[in-house]
Amino acid sequence: MSSIIDSLPPNLAKIVQRFQRATDPKRRYEQLIWYGQKLKEFPEADKLPENKVPGCVSQVYVKADLVDGKVTFQGDSDSQLTKGLVGLLIEGLNGLTPAEIVQLTPDFIQETGLNVSLTPSRANGFYNIFKTMQKKALECQI
């Protein structure tokens, strides 16, 4: 089990460990909401179709920029829990290179224990957000 954590980038590994310590599902939700609250304000002007995450029940937007070879994400959602998922991923993936982001698999969500707490549509949304962030990281290189 720890081998997955060992293979994660440091920020993502810290997040997974934080969630593993929160054994109560309510506590995990509180943590998720906290990640959403940490997000910087997402500019209205960036709420464009090309920044919208497809396949999500909620309105989710993600934007990526490449700064000194590292990806910096911004994101937002109209749902508190989904915004938390966006915040978690941004915290975990910001500062990585596009290659590092593309190599990641979404398996780490199982390690957080969130997958058992999330509804199927939210779990699906998480994967869609993750895949969109990978796609945007790749586009940054071009």
Q: Confidence band (pLDDT; 50, 70, 90) for 3?
A: confident
Domain extents in the chain? 2-43+57-141
Quick: pLDDT tens for 76-94.
999 999 999 999 999 999 9
Average pLDDT, the chain: 92
The reply to whether CATH 3.90.180.10 applies to domain 2-43+57-141 is: no
DSSP state letters, the chain: -HHHHHHS-HHHHHHHHHHHH--SHHHHHHHHHHHHHHSPPPPGGG--GGGBPTT-SS-EEEEEEEETTEEEEEEEESSHHHHHHHHHHHHHHTT--HHHHHH--TTHHHHHTHHHHS-HHHHHHHHHHHHHHHHHHHHHH-
For range 37-54, the mean pLDDT: 96
Asked whether 91 and 11 are in contact (CB, 8 A), the reply is: yes
pLDDT value, residue 1: 47
For residues 30 and 59, what is the distance between their CA atoms, to the nearest angstrom? Answer: 21
Active-site positions read 56
Q: Confidence band (pLDDT; 50, 70, 90) for 2?
A: low
Percentage of the chain exceeding pLDDT 70: 98
For range 14-31, the mean pLDDT: 91
